[in-house]
Structure 1
Amino acid sequence: MSTTPPVLAAELAFAWAEIQRHHPELPDLAAPEALIGESSSACGGELSFERLLHEAVHGVAAARGIRDTSRAGRYHNRRFLAVAEELGLEHVEEPHASSGFSLVALTPEAKKRYRPAMERLNRALKAHSAATSAETTRAFRGPAARHGSSGGGVRVKAVCDCGRNVRVVPSVLAQAPIVCGGCGKPFRIPETAAAA
Structure 2
Amino acid sequence: MSTTPPVLAAELAVAWADIQRHHPELPDLAAPESLIGESSSACGTELSFERLLHEAVHGIAAARGIRDTSRAGRYHNRRFLAIADEMGLDHAEDPHPSSGFSLVVMRPDTRKRYRPTIERLQRALKAHSAATTSDTGRSFRGPAARHGSSGGGVRVKAVCDCGRNVRVVPSVLAQAPIMCGACGQPFRIPEVVGVG
Equivalent residue number for residue 17 of structure 2: 17
Q: Which structure has the highest helix share of the two? A: 1
Equivalent residue number for residue 185 of structure 1: 163
CA distance in 2 between counterparts of 1:27 and 1:60 reads 7
* SS, match of residue 98 in structure 2: coil
Give the letter aligned to residue 158 of structure 1. Answer: K
Asked if structure 1 preserves the Cα contact closer than 8 Å seen for 2:2 and 2:131, the reply is no
**Which has the larger displacement, 116-125 or 6-15?**
6-15
Is it true that 1:65 corresponds to 2:65 in the alignment? Answer: yes
Asked if structure 2 preserves the Cα contact closer than 8 Å seen for 1:157 and 1:193, the reply is no
Asked if structure 1 preserves the Cα contact closer than 8 Å seen for 2:36 and 2:172, the reply is no
CA offset digits 1:164-188 (Å, max 9, x no partner): xxxxxxxxxxxxxxxxxxx971114
Q: Please report how far the alpha carbon of residue 59 of structure 1 lies from its aligned counterpart in structure 2 after TM superposition.
A: 0.1
Alignment: residue pair count: 168
Is it true that 1:160 corresponds to 2:133 in the alignment? Answer: no
Asked if structure 2 preserves the Cα contact closer than 8 Å seen for 1:80 and 1:101, the reply is yes
* SS, match of residue 5 in structure 1: helix
- TM-score normalized with structure 1 length: 0.76
* SS, match of residue 157 in structure 2: strand
Equivalent residue number for residue 81 of structure 1: 81
Q: Please report how far the alpha carbon of residue 156 of structure 1 lies from its aligned counterpart in structure 2 after TM superposition.
A: 1.4
Asked if structure 2 preserves the Cα contact closer than 8 Å seen for 1:38 and 1:45, the reply is no
Equivalent residue number for residue 194 of structure 1: 173
1:108/1:8 CA distance change after superposition, 3 Å? same
Asked if structure 1 preserves the Cα contact closer than 8 Å seen for 2:69 and 2:75, the reply is yes
Equivalent residue number for residue 131 of structure 1: 131
Equivalent residue number for residue 104 of structure 1: 104
CA offset digits 1:107-148 (Å, max 9, x no partner): 1110011111000000000011111102222x6x9xxx9xx9
Q: Please report how far the alpha carbon of residue 37 of structure 1 lies from its aligned counterpart in structure 2 after TM superposition.
A: 1.5
- TM-score normalized with structure 2 length: 0.76
Alignment RMSD: 2.7
Asked if structure 2 preserves the Cα contact closer than 8 Å seen for 1:156 and 1:193, the reply is no
Q: Please report how far the alpha carbon of residue 30 of structure 1 lies from its aligned counterpart in structure 2 after TM superposition.
A: 0.4
Which sections of structure 1, spanning at least 5 residues, go unmatched? 162-182
Which sections of structure 2, spanning at least 5 residues, go unmatched? 176-196
Alignment of 1:109-120 (within 5 A): 109-120=109-120
